[in-house]
Amino acid sequence: MTRHLFVVDPLERIHIDQDSSFALMEECQGRGHEVYTCDTDKLGARGSDAWADARPTTVRRVIGDHVTLGEPGRRPLGDFDVVWMRKDPPFDMQYVAATWILDLAPPGTRVVNSPDGLRGWNEKACVLRFPELTPACLMTRSAAEILAFQRDVGGAVVLKPLSFSGGAGIVALHPGDLNTNSLLEISTRHGQEYVLAQQYLPAVTAGDKRVILIGGKARGAVLRIPPDNDLRGNIHVGARVELSELTAAEQAVCDALEQPLRDAGHLFVGIDLIGERLTEINVTSPTGIQEIRRLGGPNLAAELVDAALAS
């Protein structure tokens, strides 16, 4: 019997029409596979023997009654064919510790995405590896450096905290904004925390494109058009979604990322593009596969399960 373990946040609060983990569980369940779930606090190891205190899980598309959890039981990670690390950030030391435990999964168990890759590819900072693909970027915790960067790029900049997801904490600094100093203090915690500053791309008003890559290859995309009162194209803050094709320049970005992503062990990735420029590489718990399917695109949950089991 094929078994899957999903390391996820509490399922009671997920959005079943958006959450990629839900779609993946549904796909596994539809194939007759066994599905188990746990949070990171239920992972542990003694010596090199790693386990999960996991619960058998059944999902259904009924809002408010979408999950049934069985009794928890301790299972070695080796009991599972695939472990899907789908815990949402914050990317903190508790998250990192969980990846250390997942490192101990035996060779016959595939961990998606690779624990080493998750540690090494911060979703905001990793774009610094590809300056030829991105808008101008700066990582610092210095307010003075950010202000100098803003002058250099000649306009607005976007500040992104490094540890969060879903657009949390992202702000834009516009020249002459009287809130600038306060926003810098809040974002850097008075110079105690790094942020990624990116040149503001006016094309964001036309949409932020989420592209899903499986094994490094682009397999589907949606354009997320932000609401009039928000700069973020995240679906949960009200962005409108349209199925989208890739331009030649966008496909070139994906092609440039394919081998580095494969080398890092990233099977399931969601990149963000604005004006054909790379702004983020999401590797922890990408979303978008449900929207792509609902709008007439391919069944990427099925492709992901096939790819995970084939590896």
Per-residue three-class SS string for the chain: CCEEEEECCCHHHCCCCCCHHHHHHHHHHHCCCEEEEECHHHEEEECCEEEEEEEEEEECCCCCCCEEECCCEEEEHHHCCEEEECCCCCCCHHHHHHHHHHCCCCCCCEEECCHHHHHHCCCCHHHHHCCCCCCCEEEECCHHHHHHHHHHHCCCEEEEECCCCCCCCCEEECCCCCCHHHHHHHHHCCCCCCEEEEECCHHHHHCEEEEEEECCEEEEEEEEECCCCCCCCCHHHCCEEEECCCCHHHHHHHHHHHHHHHHCCCCEEEEEEECCEEEEEECCCCCCHHHHHHCCCCCHHHHHHHHHHHC
**Gap between the Cα atoms of 271 and 268, Å rounded:** 10
Catalytic machinery residues:
124, 160, 210, 224, 232, 272, 280, 282
22 neighbors 243 (Cβ within 8 angstroms): no
Place of tokens 């290859």: 217
Contacts of 301 (CB under 8 A, 6+ apart): 20, 23, 24, 26, 27, 289, 293
